């Protein structure tokens, strides 16, 4: 029961707390700007006609002055909400809400001939509860202040003890119901926020899965090409070299036919792990095809790409597999020329991969002198 009550009062998941606080701060400040401007003009209209009808000029004038001070502060707080301490924004919000309650009580008690109705005060409390997302501490403080202040001031405007008692009972019950409404709205916001984040996370995971090869966990063909275009554009814009390596496992069909497809899958997985361990964190590796891999090397010229190819070949000789097999790869290497298209770059790299295969496998071709690695 205690755990359920605690969950109802402060139900924000710990991992979402900061993001949720930022979200409700943004929403509340935007709504407070609208509320404060609206109430300012309402008070201004009341002030214009107060001599004829109300005779409560000092109360309205004091609220107008307070609003003139608060409205610019709300704009500043909204604009710099990520830089200002949240406790300061909460304090500013609390001060304004308390001033609105005081204004509402004064209007209700001074304008009505029957304090038991107190419509303006009740409407203001209901509006605050329905419009603003208040945490448990703020909501309890605001509505407790409203109840206590109304209880304290009502006898000054009504001499009939019976009417005072009936009015207080009705108003206090109403304030309690309004507080419950505010808690329900807040809880619904928390649940909605958590659900929205959960759906976004699932969408992100699904999107990630759609971009990943299920066996190796590398970028799939589509994702690799998208990143290739992005990295080439970035290299062209910034002015650094970028190279591409296309790798193909030699005689992979023989591995599948001899040891079976599960063994072939294991070889693909181990090779993908070796490639990732050999590359830098800024490099990108993807599964280009069945037994082909694509390596995108930002800020890497042709010579550096050839050195990396050597390191990869050496790393593969130290890679262990479930089956007794010597696995090698042929590679085509090409540095991007800003004057060529991406398709031309890929075709040239693929052509060099074909040359490496044709010239004996277990080697790379880069357009320079022939290279062979055992």
Residue 171 has pLDDT above 80, yes or no: yes
Together in a domain, 108 and 230: no
In total, how many domains does the chain have? 2
Together in a domain, 181 and 315: no
In Å, the largest CA–CA distance within the chain is: 108
Tens-digit pLDDT profile for residues 86-100: 999 999 999 999 999
pLDDT > 70 fraction of the chain, expressed in percent and rounded: 91
Last-in-domain residue among 206, 235, 261: 206
Mean per-residue pLDDT, 222-233? 91
Query: Distance between CA atoms of 263 and 269, rounded to whole angstroms?
Result: 10
Last-in-domain residue among 206, 234, 251: 206
8 A C-beta contact, residue 236 and residue 304: no
Together in a domain, 174 and 273: no
Split at pLDDT 50, 70, 90, the class of 117 is very low
Together in a domain, 18 and 167: yes
Query: Distance between CA atoms of 255 and 36, rounded to whole angstroms?
Result: 75
Class of residue 209 by CB neighbours under 10 A (exposed 0-12, middle 13-18, buried 19+): exposed
Mean per-residue pLDDT, 140-153? 90
Residue 353 belongs to some domain of the structure: yes
Its pTM stands at 0.62
Split at pLDDT 50, 70, 90, the class of 374 is very low
- What pLDDT, on a 0 to 100 scale, did the predictor assign at position 6? 53
Residue 341 belongs to some domain of the structure: yes
Tens-digit pLDDT profile for residues 31-46: 999 999 999 998 888 7
Query: Distance between CA atoms of 314 and 339, rounded to whole angstroms?
Result: 34
Residue 214 belongs to some domain of the structure: no
Together in a domain, 161 and 234: no
Residue 116 has pLDDT above 50, yes or no: no
Residue 114 has pLDDT above 50, yes or no: no
Q: What is the mean pLDDT of the chain?
A: 86
Split at pLDDT 50, 70, 90, the class of 227 is very high
Residue 200 belongs to some domain of the structure: yes
Looking at residue 333, which CATH number applies to its domain?
3.30.70.270
Together in a domain, 297 and 176: no
Last-in-domain residue among 155, 178, 206: 206
Residue 239 belongs to some domain of the structure: yes
Together in a domain, 228 and 352: yes
Together in a domain, 179 and 229: no
pLDDT > 90 fraction of the chain, expressed in percent and rounded: 47
Tens-digit pLDDT profile for residues 154-165: 888 777 888 888
Residue 50 has pLDDT above 80, yes or no: no
Split at pLDDT 50, 70, 90, the class of 371 is very low
Together in a domain, 113 and 253: no
Together in a domain, 52 and 172: yes
Residue 213 belongs to some domain of the structure: no
Query: Distance between CA atoms of 155 and 170, rounded to whole angstroms?
Result: 15
Residue 103 belongs to some domain of the structure: yes
Mean per-residue pLDDT, 295-324? 91
Residue 270 belongs to some domain of the structure: yes
Degrees to nearest 5, angle at CA 71 with 64 and 60: 10
Tens-digit pLDDT profile for residues 337-361: 888 899 999 999 999 999 999 998 8
Together in a domain, 236 and 202: no
Residue 292 has pLDDT above 90, yes or no: yes
- What pLDDT, on a 0 to 100 scale, did the predictor assign at position 41? 92
Together in a domain, 134 and 233: no
8 A C-beta contact, residue 310 and residue 278: no
The two tokens of residue 46 are 């009341």
* Phi and psi torsions of 115, nearest 5°: -55, -20
Range of the domain at 350: 221-372
């Amino acid at each position: 029961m205690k755990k359920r009550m605690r969950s109802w009062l402060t139900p924000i998941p710990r991992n979402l707390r900061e993001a949720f606080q930022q979200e409700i701060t943004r929403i509340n400040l935007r709504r407070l700007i609208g509320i404060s401007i609206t109430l300012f003009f309402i008070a201004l209209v009341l002030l214009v006609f107060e001599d004829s009808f109300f005779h409560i000029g000092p109360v309205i004038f004091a609220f107008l002055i307070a609003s003139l001070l608060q409205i610019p502060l709300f704009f500043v707080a909204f604009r710099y909400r990520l830089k200002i301490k949240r406790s300061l924004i909460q304090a500013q919000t609390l001060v304004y809400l308390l001033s609105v309650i005081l204004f509402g009580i004064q209007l209700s008690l001074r304008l009505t001939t029957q304090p038991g109705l107190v419509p303006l005060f009740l409407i203001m409390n209901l509006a605050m509860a329905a419009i603003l997302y208040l945490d448990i501490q703020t909501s309890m403080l605001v509505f407790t202040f409203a109840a206590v202040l109304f209880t304290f001031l009502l006898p000054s405007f009504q001499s009939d003890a019976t009417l005072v008692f009936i009015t207080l009972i009705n108003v206090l019950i109403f304030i309690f119901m309004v507080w419950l409404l505010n808690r329900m709205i807040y809880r619904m916001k928390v649940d909605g926020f958590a659900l929205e984040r959960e759906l976004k996370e699932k969408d992100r995971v699904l999107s990630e899965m759609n971009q990943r090869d299920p066996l190796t966990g590398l970028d799939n063909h589509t994702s690799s090409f998208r990143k290739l275009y992005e990295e080439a554009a970035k290299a062209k814009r910034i002015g650094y070299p970028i190279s591409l390596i296309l790798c193909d496992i030699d005689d992979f069909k023989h591995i599948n036919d001899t040891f079976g497809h599960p063994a072939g899958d294991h070889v693909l997985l181990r090779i993908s792990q070796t490639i990732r361990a050999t590359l830098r964190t800024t490099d990108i590796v993807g599964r280009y095809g069945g037994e082909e891999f694509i390596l995108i090397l930002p800020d890497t010229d042709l010579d550096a790409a050839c050195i990396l190819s050597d390191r990869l070949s050496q790393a593969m000789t130290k890679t262990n597999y479930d089956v007794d097999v010597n696995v090698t790869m042929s590679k085509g290497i090409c540095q991007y020329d800003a004057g060529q298209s991406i398709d031309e770059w890929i075709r040239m790299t693929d052509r060099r991969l074909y040359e490496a295969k044709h010239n004996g496998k277990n080697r790379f071709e880069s357009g320079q002198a022939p290279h062979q690695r055992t």
